A and B are shown apart, each in its own frame.
Chain A
Amino acid sequence: MKRLKLNKLCWGKILCTLFLVFCMAPMVHGQLLDTLLLAEPSLEDLLAINITTASRSPEAHDLAPATIYVITAQDIQRNGYMELGDILENIPGITVVSPDFFQFGGQRGFVGNFSQTILMINGREVQNLVASETFISHQFATHNIKQVEIINGPGSALYGANALVGVINIITKNSSDDFNGTDIQMEMGSESTWAASIIFGQQYGDLKLSGSIRLYQSDEWDFSDFVSDTTHFSEGFDPRARGVIDETNRYVNQTMAIPLSLYLEYKNLYFGHESYYNKANKGIERVALDFNGQRDFRKFELTFAGLQQELGNHDLNVEYQHFKEWMWGVNYRFKDSLMDTLLAHNPGRDPMAQLTQTEIHSYFMDVYSQENSEGSSRDRIDANLTSTFAGSYNTIAGLSFERLDILSIAHAADDLYPYNDQRRATSESDKFALFLQMKKSLLDNKIHLTLGGRYDHHSAYGGIATVRSGLVCQPFEKTFIKGLFGQAFREPNIFELDGNTELTPAKINTYEFSVNHHLNSNIKSNIVLYRSDAYDLIAPSTSFVFVNDPDVRSAMGLEGMVYIKYNRFFSDIGFDFTQVEAETFAGEKYDALGIYPFKLTTGINYRFYNLLNVNTRLNYFPSIVAKHGNSDLDEVVDIASFTKLDINLSVQEYDFDIYSVSLNAKISNALDGTFYHPNVRRGGPKYFLQPGRQYMLKLSIFY
C-alpha cells in the first residue's frame, strides 16, 4: 500500500513538470503529415480513423485524452476476428472469460460479468436494461464493424453510469458516411456453425439509407465430457445436482443470433434502429440437471431519431432514444426445497437416488419469462452542443434525461409461457444528467488540455458528480505523453436496489500516465501506467441482499502495445501487468484471485504477393489461483498457464472490376490445447474449459 500512495503523490508533480517543460518546446509545423508518413494509413484509414469515444468528438488516436485501442476493419480481417469477444481477448488490460454463453470478464483487474464496462454501438448504450450488464453473446459479430474503440479507464464524466473501468464503442459500417454499396458475407465452420450477413448503404441525393442483418447459428463446442467430469466441472455439488449425460439427455448448446441495424438520414435529420435476438442453451455457465432443456432468449431494441444542426461555430445534436428489452428462458437446477417437494409427493423414494428425466422435468423446471409481456423499456433524450472558439478551443456541453421502466420476470414451474406484467416497487426510475467538457490545443498543437465534469441525478440513489482531465503533450515530433485523471461510477441495478435504499453507486478514481512513441516509420508503441482506487463496490452479503464494500479496492498496472512493420511483415504485441490488492479468502491471503498478473498477446502477419495474408496470433496467460466456481466451497483452484495459437489466412478485397472479394480461413486453438478460464462470477462450475481446435471459413463480396 505504501508504494501505491507514493505513486499517487507523484502524479500531480509529474504532470506539472511535464507541462512546464513542454511549454518551452519549439513549435514544429507539419505534425499531421509526420503522423501520416509514419503510420502510412490506407485510404479507408484516412476516412475511418474517427475517434469519437474518448471525448465525444473526432480526434487523432495519439492525442485522445484517454487510453484507447482502435481495432479497424482491416485488423479484423487480418486476424480473422469473427465476434466482439475475439477482439476483446486481444486487447491489453481486458480479461475475457467464456462459459460459452455470454462473456464474463472485465478490465484492469476489475472482473465479473462486464457490468463495470459500458458497451455502445455508435455511441449509444446497449447494456441490457434488466441488470445493466454488458451482455456479449453472439449478437455482436464483426460483419458490420468498421472499427471498435476500446477505452481502458473511467468514462462516466462523458457517458454517465457504468463506464467504471472502460468503454467499448462499436462503430458500424452501415452508419458511416463513406459506406456506399452492398457487402454480402457467408461463414461456415466446425460445430455446424454458419452465418449469413448483408450490409448495404446507398445515397440518393440528400437521402442516405443503410442497414445490416445477420443470421448466425451454431451447435457450439460439445462439452459433454466436461459437464460429466465431477472433478473439473461439478466438484462439490450434490451428486443429484449433476445432470447425467446419456443418449436421452445430451449436452446441447444450440445458439442463434440475429442482429439488425437500420439507418436513415435526410439532410440534418436521422432515424435508426439497432436490435438483436439471441438464443442459447447457456453452455457451461451453470451445473444443470438438463443441459438440453435449459435455454435463454434475449430480445433488445433501440430506436432513435435525432437532429444534427450547424449553428455557426456550434454543432447541435438532439436525439431521442427508445429501448425495449425482453428476456425469457428455462433453468433446470437442483434445489433442496424442490427435492423436498419431490420426496413429499413420492413417499418411499430413495432420497439419494439419481434423478430421472421425468422427475427433473416435473419438479425442477424453472421458467423465467417476459416473453408475453410488454417488456422493459427506457426512454432517453440527449442534447449535445459542440462548439469551437478561435479555432482551437472546443467545448462539449450536454444534458440527458431518461426514464427506466423495468418489468419484473414471471416465474413458473409448470408453464413454459407464464404471463406477468407486474412491476417491482423500484421498477421505475428517472435520471437526469448535465455535462461539460472543455478542450484547448495550444503551442501549435503541442499541448492539449481537457477538463470535463458531469453530474448525474438518479431518483433512487441521488446525485453523483464525476470529473475527467487530461494533459496530452507532444514534446518531440514522434512522442506523445499523456497524464490523465478520471472518475466514474457504476449504479446499482434493479436487483441490487430491491428493498435496499441505502445502497450507493460504486465509484472509482483512476490516474494514468502514458507514452505513445513512434520510434521510426516501422515501429510504434504505447505504454500506460495506471492506478485505480474503487470505493463502495457493490457486493452480495447474502444471496439477495447487496451492500457497499467498505474497503477501498485498488489496482495498478502497466499495459501497452507495440506495432512493428517491415515491408510485408506486420506484428502487434500487446501486454499487461496487473497488480491488485491482496485479498483474504478462506483464511488465507492471496495476491490476485482470478486475476491474471500478466498477459501477452501477439499477432504476426506476412503478406504474400500483395494478396494473401498469413496471420498467426498467440495469446499467453500465466498460471493463476482463482476462487472455486462453486460458491458453497471456500476453496481456491490452480489454473495452469496456457498458450493459445490462432492461424488465419486471408485475401483482402481482391478486385474484380465492379466487385471485390475477401476470404478468410481461420483455425482457432490450432494446437488443440486444453485450458481453462476462471469462474470469476462464481455460483457455478469449478472453472470453464475452453473449446479445442475449431475451423471457420468466411467469404465476403462487396459491390
Chain B
Amino acid sequence: MVIRYLKYLSLIIIFVQALPAQAQEERQSELKAYYLYTFSSYATWEDGVSDTIFTIGVLGETDLLQPLQRIAAEKTVNAKPLVIKYWETVDEIESCQILFIAHSMRKNLKMITEKIADQQILTVGDSKGFARQGVCLNFFIEGEHLRFEINRKAIEQQDIYVSSQLLKLGKII
C-alpha cells in the first residue's frame, strides 16, 4: 500500500510540473500590506491626528491597494475606522498617518519628503535606497524573508514616536 501511495504521489508531482506558477508577487503584496497595517500599532502620533479615522495613503502605482482595502474592510486602528486613500501624483497627497511610496515615485522622493515635512506622516518605501533618501521605513528582501529598514532621523523629523520593539526588529541604517 505504501509503495502504491508513493507511486501515486510521484506521478502527481511529475504531472503538476506543467501547471502555472503561483503568484509570488501577489503574496508579497499581501504581506507588505499587512505590514503597513501592523506598523500602526508600533507608532504613536502625538497630535494633529484625526480623532475619527486612521488613514493609510498610497502614492503611485502598486499592487498593495487591493489587499489594503481588504484589510481596511475588516480591521480598525485603535478603534478608529481604517481608511485607504490612493494618490497618483505628489500634489494630490492629503492628510494621512502612514504613507506608502511606490517604486514608481522614486524620482519624486525629494518632492514628497518636502511636501509632507512636519506633518507627522510615517513614510514607508518599497525600493532600494529609499530609507537612505529620507523615507522612515523601507521594505527589502533578505533570503526568504521580507524585512524593513529604519531611518531613525527621518522618523524623528516627522515627530513620530516609534516603539523600541519596532526599532529592535528593523534594520537601522
Interface residues of A (CB under 8 A from B): 8-9, 11-12, 15-16, 19, 29-30, 32-33, 36-37, 41-44, 46-47, 50, 57-58, 177-181, 203, 315, 389-393, 438, 440-445, 447, 449, 451, 467, 469, 471, 485, 509, 653, 655-660, 702-703
A/B interface sample: 18 pairs, CB < 8 A: A9-B1, A12-B1, A30-B26, A30-B70, A37-B74, A44-B169, A46-B31, A46-B35, A47-B147, A178-B147, A181-B168, A391-B21, A392-B21, A442-B19, A447-B16, A449-B12, A485-B2, A660-B163
Contacts of A471 in B (CB 8 A): 9
A37 to B31, CA, bound (A): 11
Does any Cβ of A come within 8 Å of B128's Cβ?
no
| Interchain CB contact under 8 A, B164 and A658 | yes
Contacts of B145 in A (CB 8 A): 47, 50, 58, 177
| Interchain CB contact under 8 A, B164 and A659 | yes
- Choose one: A30, A177, A393, A467; the contact of B30 (CB below 8 Å): A30
Contacts of B23 in A (CB 8 A): 29, 444
- Choose one: A11, A43, A393, A440; the contact of B169 (CB below 8 Å): A43
- Choose one: A37, A43, A57, A703; the contact of B166 (CB below 8 Å): A43
Does any Cβ of A come within 8 Å of B52's Cβ?
no
Task: Tell me, rounded to whole Å, the shortest Cβ–Cβ distance linking B30 to chain A.
Answer: 4
| Interchain CB contact under 8 A, A469 and B39 | no
| Interchain CB contact under 8 A, B22 and A391 | yes
Contacts of B146 in A (CB 8 A): 46
| Interchain CB contact under 8 A, B169 and A451 | no
A47 to B142, CA, bound (A): 11
Contacts of A390 in B (CB 8 A): 17, 21
| Interchain CB contact under 8 A, B5 and A469 | yes
A703 to B22, CA, bound (A): 40
- Choose one: B5, B27, B41, B71; the contact of A15 (CB below 8 Å): B5
Contacts of B5 in A (CB 8 A): 11-12, 15, 469, 485
A42 to B41, CA, bound (A): 9
A203 to B170, CA, bound (A): 11
A335 to B164, CA, bound (A): 61
Contacts of A467 in B (CB 8 A): 6
Contacts of B46 in A (CB 8 A): none
A655 to B43, CA, bound (A): 12
| Interchain CB contact under 8 A, B30 and A58 | no
Q: Ordered nearest first, which 9 A-B pairs have the shortest CB separation?
A: A391-B21, A33-B30, A392-B22, A58-B144, A442-B16, A12-B5, A36-B34, A660-B164, A32-B30
Does any Cβ of A come within 8 Å of B107's Cβ?
no
Interface residues of B (CB under 8 A from A): 1-2, 4-6, 8-10, 12-13, 16-17, 19, 21-24, 26-27, 30-31, 33-35, 38-39, 41-42, 67, 70-71, 74-75, 142-147, 163-172
A391 to B17, CA, bound (A): 11
Contacts of B67 in A (CB 8 A): 30, 33
Contacts of A8 in B (CB 8 A): 1
| Interchain CB contact under 8 A, A440 and B8 | no
* Known pairs A33-B34, A180-B171 / 12 extra A-B pairs, C-beta < 8 Å: A11-B5, A30-B30, A33-B33, A36-B31, A37-B75, A392-B22, A393-B17, A441-B22, A451-B13, A655-B164, A658-B164, A660-B168
Task: Tell me, rounded to whole Å, the shortest Cβ–Cβ distance linking B12 to chain A.
Answer: 6
| Interchain CB contact under 8 A, A451 and B6 | yes
A203 to B142, CA, bound (A): 14
Residue of A50, A57, A390 with most chain B CB atoms under a 10 A cut-off: A390
A8 to B31, CA, bound (A): 40
Closest Cβ neighbor of A469 among chain B residues: B9
A53 to B146, CA, bound (A): 19
| Interchain CB contact under 8 A, B6 and A11 | no
Closest Cβ neighbor of A181 among chain B residues: B168
Residue of B142, B145, B168 with most chain A CB atoms under a 10 A cut-off: B168
Contacts of B38 in A (CB 8 A): 41-43, 46
Contacts of B41 in A (CB 8 A): 42-43
Contacts of B6 in A (CB 8 A): 451, 467, 469, 485
| Interchain CB contact under 8 A, B166 and A29 | no
| Interchain CB contact under 8 A, B144 and A32 | no
Closest Cβ neighbor of B150 among chain A residues: A180
A660 to B35, CA, bound (A): 22
Closest Cβ neighbor of B22 among chain A residues: A392
Closest Cβ neighbor of A447 among chain B residues: B16
Contacts of A58 in B (CB 8 A): 144-145
| Interchain CB contact under 8 A, B164 and A657 | yes
Query: Given A33-B34, A33-B70, are A177 and B147 also a contact pair (CB < 8 Å)?
Result: yes
A653 to B167, CA, bound (A): 13
Contacts of A15 in B (CB 8 A): 5, 8
A37 to B68, CA, bound (A): 11
| Interchain CB contact under 8 A, A177 and B142 | yes
Task: Tell me, rounded to whole Å, the shortest Cβ–Cβ distance linking A121 to chain B.
Answer: 19
Task: Tell me, rounded to whole Å, the shortest Cβ–Cβ distance linking B161 to chain A.
Answer: 9
A44 to B9, CA, bound (A): 36
Task: Tell me, rounded to whole Å, the shortest Cβ–Cβ distance linking A604 to chain B.
Answer: 24
A471 to B2, CA, bound (A): 14
A657 to B30, CA, bound (A): 31
A659 to B168, CA, bound (A): 10
Contacts of A9 in B (CB 8 A): 1
| Interchain CB contact under 8 A, A653 and B30 | no
A42 to B10, CA, bound (A): 38
Contacts of B17 in A (CB 8 A): 389-390, 393, 440
A660 to B162, CA, bound (A): 12
| Interchain CB contact under 8 A, B70 and A203 | no
